[in-house]
Structure 1
Amino acid sequence: MGLLARWLRNDRTPRFRSGERTSATDRERLETIRAAIRGVIDAIDREEAGLRRRVDEAGARAASIADTVTDGYLHREPAEEARLVEAEAQLIGACRRLDDLKVQRHFFENSIDHFRDRQAPWPSQPVDPRLSTPLRPELGRA
């Protein structure tokens, strides 16, 4: 019922949200959280795919540098050795980042599982108007 109609009828009874509206709002909030987490997981997947592609390319370049040496490791040119050392350092850093991404993805997957198929994690409880606190049977109040 509209506010104007209530005013015209001199209806001064306070109106509060319906249970359906409260539930819908809670569901929307939870879906917003789930959507944000899905966005984070998608970003992690994109970063991981790009990083894996670059790791594969860097590994192939390092292998080609190592394969160009005919006399083995003892007679490698200093410039080639420097490129191999740099490639190795980059590969190690990239592998660490891939491990970090795996941990992050696991964390966010667990987070989205926490919010999946849930109603509000704070179920409404009846309130004792004399106490202005929720009724808590486990505390002995009724």
Structure 2
Amino acid sequence: MSVLNVYESKVDTGGKFWPVVHDATIFSLVLMHVIAVGIFGLKKLPWASSLTIPLPILTLIFNSYCQRRFLPIFKGYPAECLINKDRLDRTDPTISSFYEQLVTAYQDPSMKSVRYSEASGSVQSLLHRNNDH
């Protein structure tokens, strides 16, 4: 009956999580190799220990290859997906009203215009010190 209850995921990372999984796997492999070298050294197995030493180096070379080859794929969405999202956004009325409200949602106080009037009283210099307190 679980075939009938299939839901479409509302949250999609677009594959952004896979580089994290890859890095964790490479770290675990290198750590396992270092531990294996240590265990073989404690068991007084010099051949096994010396044959295990190239493994972390080969793992790091494989990691650099994967970073160069596959990481750019995970950095951005494909153009087809972005075009489809833009088309959906264009037809969705809630998003267009959201963008209209977003323009005035936050106005930085430093960006507001300030009007000074000379009739408001005496004008003091910014460098003036008040020694009354």
Which structure has more RCO (C-alpha within 8 Å, separation ≥ 6)?
1
Given the two structures, how large is their TM-score scaled by the length of structure 2?
0.39
Given the two structures, how large is their TM-score scaled by the length of structure 1?
0.37
